[in-house]
Chains A and B, each alone.
Chain A
Amino acid sequence: DIQMTQSPSSISVSLGDRFTITCRASQDIGNYLSWYQQKPEKSPKLMIYRATNLEDGVPSRFSGSRSGSDYSLTINSLESEDTGIYFCLQHKQYPRTFGGGTKLELK
């Protein structure tokens, strides 16, 4: 199985700050990676697909990038509604595998 190593596992950030989450893939996954946001008692929401593409309706302060086997989700100018858990998912191979999640809180 492809291992997805996500960091950090949790972080406290101030409003207006820039923040980056990274997932490292243990094998080549091309750009077959998506990012999700999950709020308490809600289902995960697709934010970025195919590593760099913003899902319709997602604010432009969110962006995705890739450097080698590292895939990153960046939030520019954090807003209060951005708190929650973020995780990555590789869909290059079966079984699909997930990053361990990042809990984003406000300072």
Chain B
Amino acid sequence: EIQLQESGPGLVKPSQSLSLTCSVTGYTITSGYDWSWIRKFPGNKMEWMGYINCSDSTNYNPSLKSRISITRDTSKNQFFLQLNSVTTEDTATYYCASYGYGGYYWGQGVMVTVSS
């Protein structure tokens, strides 16, 4: 069974960078699937942010393209999110998720607040 677990700071100051880690167990991230970041804003709106796939290719939401980077460390079976120049509008719960044949499987999520 694939399990995903997010980690990272819960509070980030405006204009700084948000950095999160997703640790994957039960599956090797180079074996297949797309590995995504998704966020849920207060009020329940969801936004798909981007992915890195098993071949190390990335695809980002155009709404974030200039601020987002998704990378990975295959030795640790982890992938990462970096979001630059954050504002209070980036306050959300951030999820990492795997995409296979027909749907997404999600981590527990980490709440990140952007505030000075």
Contact = CB atoms under 8 A, between A and B. Distances in A.
Interface string A67-97: 0000000000000000001010101001111
14 contacts: A34-B102, A36-B103, A44-B106, A45-B106, A46-B103, A50-B101, A53-B102, A94-B48, A94-B59, A94-B61, A95-B61, A96-B36, A98-B48, A100-B45
Taking each of A34, A85, A94, which has the highest tally of chain B beta carbons within 10 Å of its own beta carbon?
A94
Interface residues of A, number: 24
A43 interface: yes
Contacts of B36: 96
Contacts of A55: 103
Given A43-B95, A43-B108, A95 B102 contact: no
A42 B45 CA distance: 16
Given A34-B102, A34-B103, A53-B102, A87 B46 contact: yes
Interface residues of B, number: 22
Contact of B102 (A42, A43, A50, A97): A50
Contacts, number: 58
Interface of B: 36, 38, 44-48, 59, 61-63, 95, 99, 101-109
Nearest to A32: B102
Given A43-B95, A95-B63, A100 B102 contact: no
Contacts of A53: 102
A49 B95 contact: no
Given A43-B95, A50-B101, A101-B45, 4 more contacts: A43-B108, A49-B103, A50-B103, A89-B46
